Amino acid sequence: MADVDAALGKAGLHNIHVRDFVRRWNELTGAARIEVISESDDARLIDEALAAGEILPAGPGRYYSRSYIKDTARSEERTVVATSNPADMGIYNNWRPAGQMRRIVEERMRGASAGKIMYVLPYLMAPAGSPLERYAAGVQLTDSRTVALHMMRMARVSPRHIDRLADQNRFVRAVHVTGNLGQLQQGTPGDQRLFVTIADERTILHFGSAYGGNALLGKIAHGLRQAAYDGWASGEFLAEQFMLIGISDELTGKRYHICGGFPSASGKTNLAMMLPPAELGSRYRVDFYGDDIAWLRVDPVDGKIYAMNPEFGVFGVAKDTSEATNPIALAAVAPGTGTMFTNVAYNQNTQEVWWEGRTPGPPADLAGWSDWTGALIAERAPEDARAPWAHPNSRFTTTLANVPNIAQDFADPKGVPVDAIIFGGRARDREPLIRAILDPAEAVYDGLTLGAEATFAAEGVDGLLRYDPMSMRPFMSYPEGAYAAHWLKLIRSAASTPIFAHVNWFQRDPQNGRYLWPGYRDNLRPLIWLLRLKEGEVHGKQTPVGIVPAKEELDLRGVAIAAEDLETILSIDARRWLQEMRHREQHLKLFQGLPAEIWQAHHRVAAALSCWDGGREAGR
Using CB under 6 A as the criterion, which residues of the chain lie in contact with ligand OXD when the complex forms?
A: 74, 212-213, 292, 315
- The yes or no reply on residue 419 touching Mn ion (CB under 5 A) is no
**Which segments within 39-84 are labelled E, that is strand?**
56-57, 63-65, 79-83
Q: Which is nearer to ligand OXD, 292 or 419 (CB)?
A: 292
Q: Which amino acid is at 318?
A: A
Size of the site for Mn ion (CB under 5 A): 1
Question: If contact means CB under 5 to 8 A according to the sort of partner, which of ligand OXD, Mn ion, none does residue 133 touch?
Answer: none
Q: Which is nearer to ligand OXD, 213 or 338 (CB)?
A: 213
Helix or strand run (H / E) with residue 483 = helix 480-492
Question: If contact means CB under 5 to 8 A according to the sort of partner, which of ligand OXD, Mn ion, none does residue 544 touch?
Answer: none
Give me the least distance between CB of 292 and Mn ion, in Å please.
Answer: 4
Q: What is the DSSP string of 157-202?
A: E-HHHHHT-SSTT-SEEEEEE---GGGS-TTSTT---EEEEEGGGT
Give me the least distance between CB of 503 and ligand OXD, in Å please.
Answer: 19
**Which segments within 326-443 are labelled E, that is strand?**
340-342, 345-347, 353-354, 369-370, 395-399, 416-417, 420-424, 434-437
Question: If contact means CB under 5 to 8 A according to the sort of partner, which of Mn ion, ligand OXD, none does residue 212 touch?
Answer: ligand OXD
Binding piece for Mn ion, criterion CB under 5 A, among 137-145, 284-292, 514-522, 548-556: 284-292
Give me the least distance between CB of 292 and ligand OXD, in Å please.
Answer: 5
Rounded to an integer, what distance in angstroms lies between the CA atom of residue 52 and that of residue 43? 14
Residues shown for the chain: 620
- The yes or no reply on residue 311 touching Mn ion (CB under 5 A) is no
Q: Which is nearer to ligand OXD, 280 or 390 (CB)?
A: 390
Residue 392, C-beta contacts closer than 8 angstroms, at least 6 positions apart: 319, 356
Closest by Cα among 101, 276, 115 to 201: 101
Question: If contact means CB under 5 to 8 A according to the sort of partner, which of ligand OXD, Mn ion, none does residue 74 touch?
Answer: ligand OXD
Measured from the Cβ of residue 617, the count of other Cβ atoms closer than 10 Å reads 8
Q: Which is nearer to ligand OXD, 317 or 524 (CB)?
A: 317
Give me the least distance between CB of 265 and Mn ion, in Å please.
Answer: 11
Residues 289-308 binding Mn ion (CB under 5 A) are 292
Q: Which is nearer to ligand OXD, 66 or 74 (CB)?
A: 74
- Which of helix, strand or coil describes residue 351? coil
Give me the least distance between CB of 541 and ligand OXD, in Å please.
Answer: 35
Give me the least distance between CB of 414 and ligand OXD, in Å please.
Answer: 25
Measured from the Cβ of residue 180, the count of other Cβ atoms closer than 10 Å reads 9
Q: Which is nearer to Mn ion, 240 or 292 (CB)?
A: 292
Closest by Cα among 122, 118, 61, 63 to 341: 63
Rounded to an integer, what distance in angstroms lies between the CA atom of residue 400 and that of residue 336? 14
Helix or strand run (H / E) with residue 44 = helix 42-51
Question: If contact means CB under 5 to 8 A according to the sort of partner, which of ligand OXD, Mn ion, none does residue 356 touch?
Answer: none
Residue 233, C-beta contacts closer than 8 angstroms, at least 6 positions apart: 200
- The yes or no reply on residue 240 touching Mn ion (CB under 5 A) is no
Rounded to an integer, what distance in angstroms lies between the CA atom of residue 241 and that of residue 195? 19
Q: Which is nearer to ligand OXD, 30 or 260 (CB)?
A: 260
Give me the least distance between CB of 78 and ligand OXD, in Å please.
Answer: 14
Give the residue closest to Mn ion by C-beta. 292
Give me the least distance between CB of 262 and ligand OXD, in Å please.
Answer: 10
Q: Which is nearer to Mn ion, 147 or 216 (CB)?
A: 216
Residue 450, C-beta contacts closer than 8 angstroms, at least 6 positions apart: 261, 263, 423, 424, 425, 467, 468, 469, 470, 471, 502
Residues at the site binding Mn ion, with contacts judged by CB under 5 A: 292
